[in-house]
């Protein structure tokens, strides 16, 4: 008999059927690229898993990550899983406010010290002592350092928390940095995206609940199961790329025929995310399916990577000025060398002395 | 530095630096040659050869019958890799985008699979050329560091481009950065190695053709 506080018991109490639960487990197994034989194991582990305490810190962000999660196709099992974790602090979603909210965070940090999962969205301002974003009079920097101490692991949700995101973009007036730039002694999992795909957030949570570990990460700290393949590799428009058929504008015949959006600036080839496979809005579509190229939002520095509407093979900074200066320097330099050579030749000519046989016989 | 940072550097400052060095070096050499001037030819020009210089620019690209027989492998592989290189450079859609963005000119692309096949053929031709150079005693004797460097600088963009297109060896983002950097390396060294012939061949062919035409040689 499972603990009454276990996830399975809570889900059953909320009216989730066994069938629905197993369906979710199958979807999770597929998402995590696990064989179907793992479904019972996932179900058993999730059934028994106790609600882990989650502290969610929102820093320099737009609330898009929370919006993404909460506006995911409710009511589904993902949403219930979200309900089923013990979300002890989330200043956007929680009912408590002010001192009561901060007290809830302090209590969770104390009660579940070393065990809670810390979720962070938003980047952390570091300039001028981190004054640019504070909560309850405490800077984001201080709050992160304090909360990270007792965390079992940290999930950096969204590109801002994972790589700095929009606040980090040039000229970065607040000195915004990613979680991993500050915290070095805890396991950090980056769930990037602007916003991240809801099912990816819940997928990572499910993995953590099932196995008690973080999934295998790529070199940017993202779970390989979701970020292992590029948008381009999984794009349904890929055959047109291979055939060299490209839309030239957003409303031409090529665009209407679903041709590749590479020339319109699609960043699919260098963007690693699950958009093309899981899609958005209950698997309805993803940006490319709606006729817009990929922005590359799950990659570092995507705001500073040139225009969203500029093809990947083109320069991100204009080259005209540098080329003109180099051309002028080349012409002047070439003329100078030629003049020098002429001078040497002229000097050799003027210094030339005719040698006769008589001279040689001397 | 992440793969993306490297790619952004290659698409930004890296490209600016490489292009500037290439333009500077090429113009330095060409302008030096032009500014030196020509010796006045006091002889009377033979009739009917007014366009000899211009004709020679193209005619020297055609195979010489005697040499074709004697050095067939050089001709075959030379033509294959020169034509293949230009097909890959000029008719692959992402490359055309680059030209459209930098010089404002664009033209229709060939199917990517065709360019891919041509690129592979070009890589094979270049590898065979190296093998032939190493195998042939005279070629080996005449070869200098410049020859091998020029070969490597030509192969690198083709090979990295092929690997990037097929997502082989390295992650795509990193391989794309390596590909662009290899092109930039080619641009940097182009004016200072034998690869300068990409520009100077037009000048030298015209010069030789014009001089020979002046003397009445049949071209």
A179 pLDDT band, cuts 50/70/90, is very high
When pLDDT is averaged across residues B87-95 and rounded to a whole number, the result is: 93
> What pLDDT does residue A349 have?
87
A171 pLDDT band, cuts 50/70/90, is very high
When pLDDT is averaged across residues B67-74 and rounded to a whole number, the result is: 86
- Residue pLDDT, tens place only, A220-277: 999 998 999 899 989 999 999 888 889 999 999 999 999 999 999 999 999 999 999 9
Lowest-confidence pick of A129-138, B44-53, B80-89, B197-206: B44-53
When pLDDT is averaged across residues A4-23 and rounded to a whole number, the result is: 81
Instruction: Look over chain B and give the mean of its residue pLDDT values, rounded to a whole number.
Output: 90
Place of tokens 């909320």: A14
A170 in reach of chain B (CB within 8 A): no
> What pLDDT does residue A1 have?
47
Percent residues over pLDDT 70 in chain B: 100
Residue B102: closest CA among chain A residues belongs to which residue? A319
For residue A304, give how far its alpha carbon lies from the nearest alpha carbon of chain B (Å): 9
A315–B12 CB contact, under 8 Å: yes
Checking if the pLDDT of B215 tops 80, the result is: yes
Query: Taking a C-beta distance cutoff of 8 angstroms, is the pair A2, A9 a contact?
Result: yes
When pLDDT is averaged across residues B127-136 and rounded to a whole number, the result is: 94
Tokens matching residue A6: 């276990």
> What pLDDT does residue A201 have?
83
**Alpha-carbon dihedral A313, A317, A321, A322, rounded to 10 degrees:** -70
For residue A170, give how far its alpha carbon lies from the nearest alpha carbon of chain B (Å): 14
> What pLDDT does residue B111 have?
87
For residue A318, give how far its alpha carbon lies from the nearest alpha carbon of chain B (Å): 8
According to DSSP, the β-strands at A116-121 and A151-157 are parallel
Report whether CATH 1.10.10 matches the domain B3-15+54-215.
no
Cα separation, B17 vs B184, whole angstroms: 8
Please report residues of B whose CB lies closer than 8 A to that of A327: 23-24, 27
B32–A270 CB contact, under 8 Å: no
Mutation to test the B interface, candidates A232, A265, A315, most B Cβ within 10 Å:
A315
B36–A262 CB contact, under 8 Å: no
Instruction: Name the residue among A270, A304, A316 with its Cβ closest to that of B172.
Output: A270
B82 pLDDT band, cuts 50/70/90, is very high
Instruction: Name the residue among A220, A319, A335 with its Cβ closest to that of B102.
Output: A319
Lowest-confidence pick of A3-7, B28-32, B172-176: A3-7
Checking if the pLDDT of A185 tops 70, the result is: yes
Checking if the pLDDT of A147 tops 90, the result is: yes
- Residue pLDDT, tens place only, B3-49: 888 999 999 999 999 999 999 999 999 888 888 878 777 888 787 77
A289 pLDDT band, cuts 50/70/90, is very high
Q: pLDDT: is A223 or A78 the higher one? A: A223
A74 pLDDT band, cuts 50/70/90, is very low
Cα separation, A313 vs B95, whole angstroms: 7
A323–B113 CB contact, under 8 Å: no
Checking if the pLDDT of B102 tops 50, the result is: yes
When pLDDT is averaged across residues A194-215 and rounded to a whole number, the result is: 83
When pLDDT is averaged across residues B70-95 and rounded to a whole number, the result is: 91
Percent residues over pLDDT 90 in chain A: 49
B94–A241 CB contact, under 8 Å: no
Through-space distance between the first and last CA atoms of chain A, rounded to whole angstroms:
123
Checking if the pLDDT of A82 tops 70, the result is: no
Pinpoint the alpha helices (H) of chain A.
7-13, 18-31, 39-48, 64-70, 77-84, 98-111, 140-149, 159-163, 165-168, 179-182, 198-211, 224-227, 231-234, 238-243, 253-256, 275-278, 320-350, 357-361
Checking if the pLDDT of A81 tops 80, the result is: no
DSSP 8-class letter at B109:
P
pTM of this structure = 0.81
Q: Which helix (H) or strand (E) holds A116?
A: strand A116-121
Query: Taking a C-beta distance cutoff of 8 angstroms, is the pair A301, A261 a contact?
Result: no
When pLDDT is averaged across residues A142-165 and rounded to a whole number, the result is: 95
Instruction: Name the residue among B26, B97, B109 with its Cβ closest to that of A330.
Output: B26
> What pLDDT does residue A77 have?
59
Instruction: Look over chain A and give the mean of its residue pLDDT values, rounded to a whole number.
Output: 87
Place of tokens 């037009």: B202
Residues 6+ apart with CB under 8 A from B98: A311, A313, A314, A315
A49 pLDDT band, cuts 50/70/90, is confident
B101–A270 CB contact, under 8 Å: no
Of A66, A105, A100, the C-alpha closest to A86 is A105
User: Which residues lie across from A119 on neighbouring strands?
Assistant: A56, A155
């Amino acid at each position: 008999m499972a603990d009454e506080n276990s996830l399975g018991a809570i889900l059953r109490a909320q009216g989730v059927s066994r069938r629905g639960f197993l369906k979710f487990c199958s979807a999770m197994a597929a998402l995590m690229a696990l064989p179907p034989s793992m479904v019972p194991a996932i179900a058993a582990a999730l059934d028994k898993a106790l609600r882990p305490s989650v502290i969610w810190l929102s820093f320099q962000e737009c609330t898009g990550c929370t919006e993404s999660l909460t506006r995911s196709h409710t009511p589904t099992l993902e949403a219930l899983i979200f309900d089923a974790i013990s979300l002890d602090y989330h200043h956007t979603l929680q009912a408590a406010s002010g001192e009561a909210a901060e007290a809830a965070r302090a209590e969770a940090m104390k009660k579940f010290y070393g065990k809670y999962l810390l979720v962070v969205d938003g980047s952390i301002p570091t300039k001028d002592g981190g004054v640019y974003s504070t909560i309850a009079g405490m800077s984001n920097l201080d709050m992160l350092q304090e909360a990270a101490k007792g965390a079992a692991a940290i999930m950096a949700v969204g590109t801002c928390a994972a790589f700095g995101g929009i606040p980090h973009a040039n000229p970065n007036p607040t000195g915004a940095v990613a979680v991993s730039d500050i915290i070095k002694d805890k396991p950090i999992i980056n769930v990037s995206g602007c916003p991240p795909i809801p099912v990816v957030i819940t997928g990572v949570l499910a993995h953590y609940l099932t196995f008690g570990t973080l999934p295998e990460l790529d070199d940017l700290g993202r779970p390989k199961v979701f970020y292992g393949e590029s948008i381009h590799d999984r794009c349904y428009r890929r055959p047109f790329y291979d055939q060299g058929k490209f839309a030239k504008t957003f409303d031409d015949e090529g665009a209407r025929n679903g041709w590749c959006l590479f020339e319109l600036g699609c960043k699919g080839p260098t963007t690693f995310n699950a958009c093309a496979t899981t899609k958005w809005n209950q698997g309805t579509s993803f940006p490319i399916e709606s006729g817009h190229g990929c922005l590359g939002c799950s990659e570092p520095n995507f705001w500073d990577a040139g225009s969203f509407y500029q093809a990947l093979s083109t320069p991100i900074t204009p080259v005209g000025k540098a080329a003109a200066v180099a051309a002028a320097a080349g012409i002047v330099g070439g003329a100078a060398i030629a003049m020098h050579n002429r001078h040497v030749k002229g000097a050799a000519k003027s210094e030339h002395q005719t040698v006769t046989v008589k001279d040689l016989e001397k | 530095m992440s793969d993306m940072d490297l790619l952004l550097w290659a698409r930004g400052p890296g490209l600016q630096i490489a292009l500037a060095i290439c333009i500077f070096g090429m113009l330095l050499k060409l302008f030096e040659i032009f500014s030196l001037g020509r010796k006045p030819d006091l002889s009377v020009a033979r009739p009917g050869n007014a366009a000899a210089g211009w004709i020679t620019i193209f005619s020297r690209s055609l195979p010489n019958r005697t040499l074709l027989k004697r050095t067939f492998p050089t001709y075959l592989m030379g033509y294959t890799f020169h034509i293949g290189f230009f097909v890959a450079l000029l008719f692959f859609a992402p490359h055309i985008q680059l030209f459209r963005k930098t010089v404002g000119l664009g033209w229709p692309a060939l199917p990517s699979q065709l360019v891919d096949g041509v690129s592979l053929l070009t890589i094979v031709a270049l590898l065979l050329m190296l093998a032939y150079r190493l195998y042939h005693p005279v070629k080996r004797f005449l070869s200098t560091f410049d020859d091998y460097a020029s070969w490597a600088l030509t192969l690198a963009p083709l090979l990295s481009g092929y690997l990037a297109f097929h997502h082989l060896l390295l992650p795509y983002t990193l391989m794309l950065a390596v590909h662009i950097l290899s092109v930039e390396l080619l641009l940097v060294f182009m004016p200072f190695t034998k690869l300068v012939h990409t520009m100077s061949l037009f000048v030298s062919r015209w010069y030789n053709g014009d001089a020979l035409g002046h003397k009445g040689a049949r071209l």
